[in-house]
Structure 1
Amino acid sequence: MNPNNIEALALKGMLAELPEDDRKAVHAAKAELEAVIARHTDGHGLLAVVLLCMELQGNA
């Protein structure tokens, strides 16, 4: 199994254990993160990650 898949499954398991309000907050944050990536990229994954990190650090 791909290590990334194992990590994703572990995170899903952890998410399932959270209270409902916290799960909703995580999903909202994921949607916001996807919107940031969409604003900064035309489908190039590495560029999206670099720009996201810069935005999170306040450098973009």
Structure 2
Amino acid sequence: MPIEVYQGHVLDPDQLEALRIQIESFDTIEQVDAELRGIIERNWPHLVAKLPPDDIDQT
């Protein structure tokens, strides 16, 4: 798994795992910023379907 940085902080493997588990627990996600979207797309492309379309993202 690549090193990921979110809001200026390096996410350790445990934080990434916790993020994945949290995302998987949601049916859909209504808002996501571009930085978090990128982390999701790079690490868990199968979860992108839970995200809103790019054109309505809130930052």
Q: Same fold (TM over 0.5)?
A: no
TM class, shorter-chain normalised?
0.3 to 0.5
Higher helix share: 1
TM-score, length of structure 1 as denominator length: 0.32
Structure that is richer in strand per residue: 2
